[in-house]
Amino acid sequence: MPTTRASRNLLAGILLLSLPATAVVVGRHTQTPWIAQAPQYRQKGDAEAKITLVEFSDFECPGCASATPLVKQLLATYHPNVRLVFKYFAWDFHKHAKSAAVAAECAGRQGKFWPMHDMLYLRQGSWSVAPDARIFFRAYAKEIGLNFLAFEACLNDAAALAAVDQDIQEARDHWLNSTPTFFINGKRFSSSMQLRTLGSREIDRLLKKQK
């Protein structure tokens, strides 16, 4: 009957219209923001902070070096509500990037990741163009007061290299294609410019939402 056919068509239309809305609702409840993890020595800020800023960075990347003051400013402005998690993402085309990351990891294992982090970025123009960057890394280790023998042994430690490679693989698994790349509670910012222009707005939004 025409009436029955019309009723069926109407019912089918209603069901089709309802499916996208249902999918969105389900997605909101099941999708968990990705927040990368790192050892405590590669974190900065309050461990109980409401907001996690994750940075994937390459020590030989000029843009990463220039982003460092911005990251420090955000941490200072939003203390104690924001903590930083640092992840290695050394590019293959940067000759010394991975060895620099290993040097930072070795410094971290002696509790001095951040002094080495700052030194590597501050003096990037020197070691990044050297034939053997490790000469510079050894000098920095002495300058920041590391146990030199332990640092030297760590530079050749497979576990230190594995920690760096694990971060790099994690970056690739999440289709990262630029450095620095940041995440604020799982939301991606693919450059320091994006973080500079939109980061504070996102942090303010999250803090307001959590009140």
Q: Are 192 and 63 in contact (CB under 8 A)?
A: yes
Angle between helices 134-143 and 148-155 (to 10 degrees): 150
> What CATH architecture does domain 40-210 belong to?
3-Layer(aba) Sandwich (3.40)
> Residue 82: helix, strand or coil by DSSP?
strand
Q: Which of 96, 99, 100, 105 is nearest to 130 (CA)?
A: 96
Write out pLDDT tens, residues 167-204: 999 999 999 999 999 999 999 999 999 999 999 999 99
Task: Decide if pLDDT at 3 tops 70.
Answer: no
Q: How many residues does the chain have?
A: 211
Q: Tell me the CA distances in angstroms from 151 to 24, 38, 71, 127, 138, one per residue in order.
A: 51, 20, 27, 18, 8
Task: Give the pLDDT confidence score for residue 34 in this predicted structure.
Answer: 66
> Residue 85: helix, strand or coil by DSSP?
strand
Show the tokens assigned to 129. Answer: 């163009």
Domain spans, the chain: 1-31, 40-210
**pTM more than 0.75:** yes
∠ CA 127-97-131 to the nearest 5 degrees? 40
Distance CA 162, CA 154 (A): 12
Q: Which of 79, 85, 81, 76 is nearest to 54 (CA)?
A: 85
Cis amide prior to 39 (ω within 30 degrees) = no
Write out pLDDT tens, residues 128-169: 999 999 999 999 999 999 999 999 999 999 999 999 999 999
